[in-house]
Chain A
Amino acid sequence: MMGRGLLGIEELSRDDIELVLDTALKMKEVGERDVKKVPTLRGRTIINLFFEPSTRTRTSFEIAGKRLSADVVNFSPSSSSLTKSESILDTAKTLDAMDPDAVVIRHKVAGVPKRIADELDAPVINAGDGAHEHPTQALLDMMTVLEEKGRLDGLTVTIIGDIAHSRVARSNIYGFRKMGAEVRVAGPPTMLPQQVESLGVKAFTSLREALDGADVVMALRIQTERLAGAAFPTIREYSSTFGLDRQKLRFAKDDAIVMHPGPVNRGVELSHDLADRRPSVILDQVRNGVALRMAVLYLLAGRRKPAA
C-alpha cells in the first residue's frame, strides 16, 4: 500500500500501521533537537493542495516537510485558477507536470484524493476528504495512545460526537480496530450512522454506558452549524448529554486519557478545564502530528508508480 500513497486507513494492513507508528516515534526525536532539521528530503518538492481551508493540518504538513528539508509549496483554491473554472483534475495534472515528489490533498468531497491519485505519478496523501477519511489524524491519534498506554491491542476507545459526518471517526475506527482495540461510538441517534456496527464498533446513545471501562475517550468537534438543523439537538442539549467534563469522565477508567482532533468548542464537546489539562492530551496530539507526517513523507515522498 505505502508505495501508492496514503488515501485511507481502510486499505492499510496492521504491518503498514506499525511501520508508520514506529517511524513516527523515532522521528519525534528530530523535533526535540536544537536544530530541528534533517537533510533526508533535500531537493524534493511537496505540494500541499488544499481545496478546503485548514490552517492546522496544512501547517503541520508544511512543518513536517520542512523539517525533512523538502521544498513545500502551498496551493489553495482562493489563490489559484480554480475560480476560472479549471477542473480539479486539470489542476492536479498541471501540478503533476511540475514533478512534485508528493501531493497532499484535502477536499470537501469524499473520493477526490483517490481520483487525483489515479492520474498522478507522485504519491498522494489524503489530508481529509469529505466524511470519508483523514488517515494522518487517525495515525497521530494512535501514536499518541501508543505513547500514553504502551499498546493499542486490548484497549477500549470511546469516540463521542457526530460519528456520521466525521472522517476522523471513520479513520480511527478502521485504525484502532486493525490494531486490536475495542471501539465504541456514542452520540445522539441522529449522529450515529445506520449500520455503524458493521464497522466492528459498538454504538451507544448513553454516554455513561459508552464510557464504562474506557481507556481512551475521544471527543469529536461538533459543527455548530449542523446543530441548528432540525434533526439535531441544541448545543446546550448536546453539551449537557454528551459534552465531557470531569464528572462524566469518572465513568471511564481512572487512568483514561481524553483526546480531541481540534479545534475544541470549549464548553460544548469538552469543559474548559478538561480542554487544557490532563488527562487531556490534545497538545501532544498536535506535537505528534508533525512527527507522524514526517514519517509518512519519509516513507512516501519520491516513490513513483511502477512504470506501466
Chain B
Amino acid sequence: MANDDASSLRHARANPNAAAPSESLLLDDAAIRRALMRIAHEIVEKNDDLARLYLVGIPNGGVPLAKQLGANLREIASVDALIGVLDTTLYRDDLVSSGARPRLRRTEMPSSVDERVVILVDDVASTGRTIRAAMDALMDFGRPRGVQVAALVDRGHRELPIKIDYVGKNVPTQRGDRVAMRGPDDALEVVLLRRAEGKLEPPSGRSLGGGRSSKPSGAGEAGSDGAQRAAGERSSEEPEGAAQ
C-alpha cells in the first residue's frame, strides 16, 4: 500500500479534512493473531529451508506483523528468522511531481539478503506498487534466493503483475475506500473506511498531482495506491480482486 501513504492510513482518524466516513471493523486483534498464525503455518509448509527465511516488514504496518510472524515461526518450527524493516519511500514511482515529499520511514536491514528467502510483510496490499518498490529496494541489499509476499489484507485493485503469496483476509473494496490498520502493537485492528454514499470528497492535500478529478469514483482519494492517477480513466466502482 505504499504509494498511498501507510502513515496516513494509520492516522486516518486524525485527518481533519476527511468527511466522517462510515467505518466497519474487518479484523480485530484476535482475528489478526489467528491470521498470522495460519500464515506462519503456510510459510513452514511452503518453504523447505526455514533457516534461510528473512522476514522484512514494510513500515509502518508491516513492521509489527513481521515481528509477530517471527515469533510464530519460533513457536511452531523453532526457527529464528532474520527480521528487517524496509522503507520503500525512496523507490516510489510517484515522486516525480512537484508536491511535498512524503516523510521517510526507517530502514533496518540487519544483514544482506544474499541467498535468503525474503518474505515481504505489509498490512494492506492493493495496487502492488508498494511491493514493486520493496522488491527494487531489496535488490540493493543483495541477491535473494527468492522473494515472497505476505499481507494481512488484500483488497485487490492490482495494477502490476504481483501475486500475494500469503493473505490474511481478502476484502472486497471500492477504490475510494480506505483500509487502515491501527492501534498499539498488542491490540491491532483493521478497519474499512467508506465515504458516505454520493458524498464528494476533495482530494487529500497530499495528492501527488494528476488526481484533481471531481468524479465520484475515488479520484484523489488516498485510499489505494495510484488511485489518483488511475481514477481518471476508471469510473467503475466495481470492487476488483474481490472474487478470490
Contact = CB atoms under 8 A, between A and B. Distances in A.
A26 B87 contact: yes
Interface residues of B, number: 21
B217 to A, nearest CB: 27
Given A22-B103, A40-B95, 11 more contacts: A19-B103, A23-B104, A26-B106, A29-B107, A34-B140, A37-B140, A39-B90, A39-B91, A68-B90, A298-B101, A302-B98
B98 to A, nearest CB: 5
Contacts of B95: 40
25 contacts: A19-B103, A22-B103, A22-B104, A23-B103, A26-B105, A27-B104, A29-B106, A29-B108, A30-B90, A33-B140, A34-B140, A34-B142, A35-B140, A37-B140, A38-B90, A38-B91, A38-B137, A38-B140, A40-B90, A40-B91, A43-B96, A298-B104, A302-B96, A302-B98, A304-B98
Nearest to A298: B101
Given A34-B112, A39-B91, A26 B98 contact: no
B234 to A, nearest CB: 27
Given A35-B140, A39-B136, A302-B96, A26 B112 contact: no
A12 interface: no
Interface in A12-46: 19, 22-23, 26-27, 29-30, 33-35, 37-40, 43
A12 to B, nearest CB: 15
A26 B96 contact: no
Contacts of B106: 26, 29
Nearest to B95: A40
Enumerate the 6 nearest inter-chain pairs by beta-carbon distance, A residue then B residue, closest first.
A26-B104, A38-B90, A35-B140, A40-B90, A29-B107, A303-B98
A299 interface: yes
B70 to A, nearest CB: 21
A35 B107 CA distance: 14
Interface on chain B toward A: helix, strand, loop, or mixed SS?
A: loop
A57 B220 CA distance: 40
Interface in B115-154: 136-137, 140-142
Nearest to B104: A26
A19 B101 CA distance: 11
Contacts of A39: 90-91, 136
A33 B111 CA distance: 10
A23 B106 CA distance: 9
Nearest to B107: A29
Contacts of B104: 22-23, 26-27, 298
A2 B103 CA distance: 14
User: Of residues B91, B101, B112, B141, which shows the largest number of chain A Cβ atoms within 10 Å of its Cβ?
Assistant: B101
Interface in A219-272: none
Nearest to B133: A39
A308 to B, nearest CB: 15
User: Of residues B107, B108, B142, which shows the largest number of chain A Cβ atoms within 10 Å of its Cβ?
Assistant: B107
Contacts of A298: 90, 101, 104
A33 B95 CA distance: 22
B149 to A, nearest CB: 21
